[in-house]
Chains A and B, each alone.
Chain A
Amino acid sequence: DAGVIQSPRHEVTEMGQEVTLRCKPISGHDYLFWYRQTMMRGLELLIYFNNNVPIDDSGMPEDRFSAKMPNASFSTLKIQPSEPRDSAVYFCASSFRRILNQPQHFGDGTRLSIL
């Protein structure tokens, strides 16, 4: 399997611009997660989906952030408008059925820099 695929790998944009991060989970996985990693705060969960439905979005920083999962093979995380403090590495992860205690599989991340 190709693993979790994220795009773009790097994004540099100016403050105020809209940013869209993309994720393709592993085929057959029914959970999808978006995380953010910074030096100060480490890795934090932003939101996760089960069967394309958002379950917990309590980690989404504010209304400027939104996430969608229109189908089982694609998800987006959008920031509008972007701010310098949004600069971080954003990871997408997927997993299969909690009851089986399967680990989460991570993509290589998107390194986002807001100037």
Chain B
Amino acid sequence: KQEVTQIPAALSVPEGENLVLNCSFTDSAIYNLQWFRQDPGKGLTSLLLIQSSQREQTSGRLNASLDKSSGRSTLYIAASQPGDSATYLCALTQGGSEKLVFGKGTKLTVNP
């Protein structure tokens, strides 16, 4: 059974710092992996989607990487801002299913 783990559960950094959020999974046979952002009381917003054949995706200050062989993905946030404060979740799908399996997220706080 696929399990997705995100460590740490919470992270606090000063504004301007570059940071990395981690996601690990137990079964490397994935179809794609997504990173989401969730603000309090809101739904999830998709940030980046990496197909299994890709190594990374970039959008603005965000860069997500995928290493299937080691069962890891990272989300790199450059020059963090207070507006980046949110919970970040990774989720993946596996062949033959649209089902997203989620990690429990990392709650990020960027302090001014």
Interface residues in chain A, defined as those with a beta carbon under 8 Å from any beta carbon in chain B = 4, 31, 33, 35, 42-45, 48, 50, 55-56, 59, 91, 93, 95, 98, 101-109
In angstroms, Cα B104 to Cα A102, docked, is 22
Q: Is B19 an interface residue (CB 8 A)?
A: no
Say whether chain B's binding surface is mostly helix, strand, loop, or mixed.
strand
Contact between B45 and A106, CB atoms less than 8 A apart: yes
**A101-B32, A108-B42 known; A43 and B49 CB under 8 Å?**
no
* Residues on B with beta carbons closer than 8 Å to the beta carbon of A42: 102-105
Query: Which single member of A35, A59, A103 contacts B49 (CB below 8 Å)?
Result: A103
Complex contact B32–A31 (CB within 8 A): no
**Residues of B within 8 Å of A, CB-based: how many?**
22
Q: Is the CB of B49 within 8 A of A101?
A: yes
Of the candidates B36, B46, B98, which one forms a contact with A55 in the assembled complex, judged by CB atoms under 8 Å apart? B98
| Number of A-B residue pairs at CB separation under 8 A | 54
With known contacts A33-B98, A56-B99, A103–B46 Cβ distance under 8 A: yes
For chain B, residues 31 to 51, give those with C-beta under 8 angstroms from any C-beta of chain A.
32, 34, 36, 41-46, 49, 51
**Given contacts A42-B105, A101-B49, A101-B51, is CB(A108)–CB(B100) below 8 Å?**
no
